Amino acid sequence: MKKYKIGYTTGVFDLFHIGHLNILKKAKEQCEYLIVGVSTDELVKSYKNKTPIIPFDERIAIVEAIRYVDKVVPQTSMDKLAAWNKLHFNVIFHGDDWKNSAMYDEYEKQFAGVGVTLVFFPHTQGISSTKITKKLQDILCQ
């Protein structure tokens, strides 16, 4: 039996890479049912001030095709408690690059009140969509 019943994680999943796959695989290893929130283009623009390279509908299709994922939902807000009110997960998974951030410290307090556990996984070293984009820019500018 897995440790948690319903797990939840979110991401942009732009330029899907091994780090994205690692978090989904690790999350599924710990829960029976994994829900993944994929950030909409509008949400990404609002907090990263950039437009994803891969359009939202294609990022959804990519994440839906991954065997570790049971359900994909649009992430239209950074408010994880609002997501919990709709989805009723009992664990949220995230990369440890957000651990001890003001936002996740607040989530930890909020989720403690409703019995949701936060689990942080180590960030996959050496890879990110930002690094891939930079590498592509460097190649194109040669």
CATH number of the domain where residue 51 is located: 3.40.50.620
Instruction: Name the domain count of the chain.
Output: 1
For the annotated catalytic residues, the residue numbers are 48, 50
Q: Average model confidence (pLDDT) for the chain?
A: 92
Task: Name the residue range of residue 124's domain.
Answer: 4-140
Q: Which residue has the higher pLDDT, 14 or 134?
A: 14
User: Which residue would you say has higher pLDDT here, 93 or 2?
Assistant: 93
Amino acid 138: pLDDT: 73
Q: For residues 87 and 76, what is the distance between their CA atoms, to the nearest angstrom?
A: 14
Mapping DSSP onto H, E and C, the string for 89-117 reads CCEEEEEHHHCCCHHHHHHHHHHHCCCCE
**Integer Rg of the chain from CA:** 15
Tokens at residue 14, please?
Answer: 């732009």
Interacting residues of 12 by C-beta distance below 8 A, sequence separation 6+: 38, 39, 44, 48, 52, 59, 129
Q: What is the pLDDT of residue 81?
A: 94
Q: What is the pTM of this model?
A: 0.91
User: What pLDDT score was predicted for residue 129?
Assistant: 72
Tell me: pLDDT of 53 over 80.
yes
Residue 97 pLDDT: 81
